[in-house]
Amino acid sequence: MVEETTPYIKGELLHLIYHQEDSLYTVAKIKKQAASFEWKEKEMVVVGLMAKPEQDITYIFYGSLQEHPRFGKQFRFDTYEKKKPDTKHGLELYFSSDRFPGIGRKTAEKIVDHFGLDAISAILARPSRLTEIPKLDSEKADAVHKQLLEDQGIEEVLTRLYAYGFGLHLAIKIYQTYKTEAVEIIEKNPYQMVEDVEGIGFAKADQIGHHQGIRGSHPDRIRAALQYTLHEHCLSDGHVYADREEIIQRAVDLLEKDSEERIDPEKAAAIVVELDEEGKIITEDNRMYIPSLYYAEQGIASNVRRIMDQRNMEFPESELLKAIGQVEDKHDITYAPSQQQAVMEAVTSPVMMLTGGPGTGKTTVIQGVIEVYAELHGLSIRKDDYEGKTFPFLLAAPTGRAAKRMKESTGMPAGTIHRLLGYKGLESEGFEKDEDTPLDGSLLIIDEMSMVDTWLANQLFRAVPNGMQVLIVGDEDQLPSVGPGQVLADLLASSCVPVVKLTDIYRQSYDSQIITFSHDIKEGRLPEKIDHSSSDLRFFSCGPDAAAEMITAICRRAVEKGYTAREIQVLAPMYRGPAGITALNLQLQELFNPKRPGTKEVSFGDVSYRVGDMVLQLVNNLEDNVFNGDRGEIVAILTEKETAEKQLQLVIAFDGTEVTYTRQDLTQITHAYCCSIHKSQGSEFPMVIMPVVRSYSRMLRRKLIYTGITRAQQFLLLCGEWSSLSYAVQTDGEEERNTTLVHRLQPEEEHVDNG
């Protein structure tokens, strides 16, 4: 509900300056009728999210008066409401207007006489009552109702949702889910939103339910708590399933929080059975699954077994060795025995897995597999030679940066897995490629498989046709996927797919302390000290409170030596605290790109973006070929007056591709001077600076440290406490993820589902 003290301005919309249909971002000029603050001018520019703004209509906007650096005072609104006609004369004019073809003045008078001054709300609530008007047939009645919905429906629903305390973003999400039935559904069962609307948690639904008298052991409360708890447990901790009794107890604890009534676990257990019968959750033995994860895991298993059931490619050993020899001669190299084994296994097996840490030659093997495969099948590896024909080699990785590295190291086309599968975006929630429209090619190579979660892996394997060979590449010692599951680890543990593990560090890596250090970390070893005669590895000792200052000093020294922000990446595991990502980004921005006279910048929340800033993409944007984890640079900021669309625009360059962002798109980016170790996966940087301090203790784990240090190509600079680094290396307590993929990957005769 809008507070009485919330600033507002009321006025007639004169001119629509800008309105974007998708985001609802709106800039408009109004003729002021009233305001809660002193404003002598007759007109005011209002800015915010708005559905179907209409000229010559009166609105009340609630928000705050703000000073724009270029355009002066503007009213930025958070919520708004459309003022309906509220006099008999006004309503008669409204219903007899051009909006309602076939409704004349006399019929309009009858509508107002019948429904009164609340005619609009009454018709929207019960449109069937329109047929009570003499000579108003069902066709005209439907037309009136449809036009009222178009004119008032969205605002009517949004206004009611505001009263429940929803902000505009969530209110629009709810409206998009339920349309004009939103209020009716919420008033009947607010807990339905927990199931249907992303971003609505149990607490918010429970707050509404409490006001509606739904409390204690009400079945709708228990249903919502069980589903919410299961989703939170799996999505927060990466589990594919949860223990049934644990979820019931967690849900009971949630329901009893701030409540005097005790919840009977048996009643919750009975509702679990109901949810299972309805397909809202799936139980198998004592395990509880989100249905999409259950079926995704089953899909991975069945499709991997299907692909593995294809016959191996038969080549005489002499032919294999000849092809390998030709590739070795071409590049003047000699494959080590494990590398030769990996190449031979990959070109003959339906699926093969290649694992190994940095410096073990994974890239060399990938290149070898491509070229030996081409030799054996009489194929060219030049895409230009396939004009009008299918290119047989498909290379992909989970992130844009990883795909770019793959392309650079192999000289072959490579892209993200999402792009390979034809991802159509969140709204359509689908992929073009599946079992009915499979991938087209002969050899598929997927790199950085440790980052691939259960949902994406399922989509990938179901799109692999019979006859296509698959090479899976990854480092099992890196962090698991952000999403649920541990697909790489489970495939390795299943023993159902041939695996070659590369362990030897090759000559070109002998002189790199980073490589040997990372392998020591992987094995849980930490040298007593770091040899400071090393040219590529340093440790700077400092306490937690001095870490930010130390990082800034290291970066300043690097800049003095000629390094740029693009070449330096600070990595940290947490966002909060003095040595957290948020604080470090603010500090490092002032070092790398301080505010200078004439430098354009734009404020967004607590952050200012300037031309020259390094930024990180936070979501996949397939249209612009920019993906979660991509790093770019702001190359231009264009004000509203400088663009034809009359809106602010930021132009960001990602590896040569320029992408334009409007103000509402700025939620997609953040500063990239410091980023999380999770976000850095799949990327490499010339210089990595990584603080390791006890304030990170909750996150200090061996895989986290290993993943961070293996991002460094040329220089790795650690700072903090040696004891904290030692603690992290000794802590192999990565939370074990609950998955059943290993079990499902076993042959059918050994695998019986109980679901």
Encode pLDDT of 568-616 as tens digits. Answer: 999 998 888 888 999 999 999 999 999 888 888 888 877 899 999 999 9
Q: Cα–Cα distance between 659 and 642 in angstroms, integer?
A: 17
Predicted confidence at residue 332, as pLDDT, reads 93
Local structure of 215: helix, strand or coil: coil
Encode pLDDT of 91-148 as tens digits. Answer: 887 788 777 888 888 899 999 999 998 888 888 878 888 888 888 888 888 888 888 7
Predicted confidence at residue 105, as pLDDT, reads 87
Has residue 452 got a pLDDT over 90? yes
Contact 203, 258 (CB under 8 A): no
Selection from 562, 548, 603, 509 nearest residue 719 by Cα:
548
Local structure of 63: helix, strand or coil: strand
Of 354 and 171, more confident: 354
How far lies 195's CA from each of 230, 237, 281, 335, in Å? 11, 20, 11, 54
Kindly report the pTM of this predicted structure.
0.79
- Residue 755's pLDDT band (cuts 50, 70, 90): very low
Has residue 638 got a pLDDT over 60? yes
Q: What is the layout of strands, in order, in the sheet containing 674-676?
A: 537-541, 712-720, 685-692, 568-572, 674-676
Joined together, the tokens standing for residue 18 give: 């800008």
Encode pLDDT of 545-567 as tens digits. Answer: 899 999 999 999 999 999 999 99
Of 260 and 481, more confident: 481
- Compute the average pLDDT of residues 47-65: 82
Residue carrying structure tokens 């949004």: 158
Contact 317, 327 (CB under 8 A): no
332: left (phi over 0), alpha (psi -120 to 50) or beta: left
Has residue 495 got a pLDDT over 60? yes
Has residue 3 got a pLDDT over 60? no
Number of CB atoms found within 10 A of residue 316's CB: 8
Among 74-78, 147-151, 681-685, which is the least confidently predicted range?
147-151
Q: Percent of the chain beyond pLDDT 70? A: 93
- Residue 424's pLDDT band (cuts 50, 70, 90): confident
C-alpha torsion sign, points 289, 293, 297, 298: positive
Has residue 426 got a pLDDT over 80? no
Joined together, the tokens standing for residue 308 give: 């593995």
Q: Percent of the chain beyond pLDDT 90? A: 53
Among 117-121, 404-408, 520-524, which is the least confidently predicted range?
117-121
- Give the DSSP letter of residue 724: H
Q: Using alpha carbons only, what angle is made at residue 385 by residues 382 and 388, rounded to the nearest 5 degrees?
A: 125
- Residue 157's pLDDT band (cuts 50, 70, 90): confident
- The residues near 206 (Cβ < 8 Å, ≥ 6 apart) are 190, 191, 221, 224
> Helix/strand/coil (H, E, C) string of 304-317?
HHHHHCCCCCCCCH
Among 48-52, 329-333, 412-416, 511-515, which is the least confidently predicted range?
48-52
Among 337-341, 518-522, 664-668, which is the least confidently predicted range?
664-668
- Residue 77's pLDDT band (cuts 50, 70, 90): confident
Most confident residue range from 90-99, 417-426, 540-549: 540-549
- The residues near 156 (Cβ < 8 Å, ≥ 6 apart) are 121, 124, 180
How far lies 727's CA from each of 18, 215, 696, 697, in Å? 55, 46, 11, 9
Among 69-73, 430-434, 626-630, which is the least confidently predicted range?
69-73
Contact 303, 461 (CB under 8 A): yes
Q: Cα–Cα distance between 425 and 431 in angstroms, integer?
A: 8
Q: Cα–Cα distance between 545 and 579 in angstroms, integer?
A: 8
Average pLDDT, the chain: 88
Q: Which amino acid is at 227?
A: Q
